[in-house]
Amino acid sequence: MRILVTGGAGFIGSHLIDRLMEAGHEVLCLDNFYTGHKRNILRWLDHPYFELIRHDITEPIRLEVDQIYHLACPASPVHYQYNPVKTIKTNVIGTLNMLGLAKRVRARFLLASTSEIYGDPEVHPQAEEYRGNVNTIGIRSCYDEGKRVAETLAFDYHRQNDVDIRVARIFNTYGPRMLENDGRVVSNFVVQALQGNPLTIYGDGSQTRSFCYVADLVEGLIRLMAGDHVGPVNLGNPDEYTILELAKTIQTMVNPDAAVKFEPLPQDDPRRRRPDITRAKHWLGWQPTVSLKPGLEKTIQDFRQRLEHLPTPASARVSG
């Protein structure tokens, strides 16, 4: 099968490409390298079934493919807030372009949506029926509302043009190949602990997140693409931890002497985040298999190897 992965040089996209290539598919990786990196796909560059296309999805492109995994968009607060207009253009214009491509070539289209569409939720845990609590004019809205519009576009193309879509709502995901400076809580705690810096907690650390190891997430995406259900489907780990609990876990695993410091909570930072994965269990036969500590061990090992080659410390705001 000929499969396009947008954002394929990114953290999740590159792990997905590994699985698709190992399964014998012909894979096209499309990325503008805004947050993706060639090192994530180096092993496939000379493979006859792999093609790398440097392209920005806000510009149209003509390809012949059977499936499209649409992952392209900065997903961490530091990166999507750096250029918010670019972020919403990627979510809206980029998704329009990819849906137009799927319509022309009759490809099945999977949208990588996000738990951020639930905003700062008033319902806990979050099931797919919940419509969310999003600030339309806040600093996170370029991503939150951008993904909500992307879902709208996907379902409108499905209803109006009979495009075969799948929609995954991805909750916090971690693992090897996360960027050192991406502003997400796992990567920043690990980097800070490895470099002997204080672990920065925003707010009092009582806000919660649920952390899904990347291999589990990729399995869920592949099952959703291969299945019969359009979605949306939550993909995430329902085990819930406070940010303070996560900080102490990483502190113990990496550097027990690392300090912890507290800073003001960023605007619109969600207080609680946990997926209801009943649909994923029922429709896909899927649930996470990697618990937090083993996943963190692999993540820490990856960061430790990469940080040995970094000339200066990575720094970024921790968020969820």
CA 230 – CA 216 distance, rounded (Å): 20
Catalytic residue among 80, 143, 174, 241: 143
Residue that has been written with the tokens 């470099």 in this structure: 195
Relative to beta strand 67-70, strand 108-114 is parallel
Structure tokens at 85: 């207009």
Structure tokens at 155: 């379902």
Terminal Cα-to-Cα distance of the chain (whole angstroms): 35
Relative to beta strand 240-242, strand 208-210 is antiparallel
> Please, which residues have CB within 8 angstroms of residue 9's CB and are 6 or more apart in sequence?
29, 31, 33, 36, 37, 38, 40, 41, 52
- Nearest CA among 265, 263, 269 for reference residue 320: 269
DSSP 114: E
DSSP 309: T
Catalogue the E-assigned strands of 162-318.
165-170, 173-174, 199-202, 208-210, 212-213, 233-235, 240-242, 260-263
> Please, which residues have CB within 8 angstroms of residue 22's CB and are 6 or more apart in sequence?
none
DSSP count for the chain of H helices, then E strands = 10, 13
CA–chain centroid gap for 79, Å, is 12
Residue 208: CB atoms within 10 A of its CB come to 19
Look up 82 and say whether it is catalytic: no
Rg for the chain (alpha carbons), in Å? Answer: 19
What residues act catalytically? 143
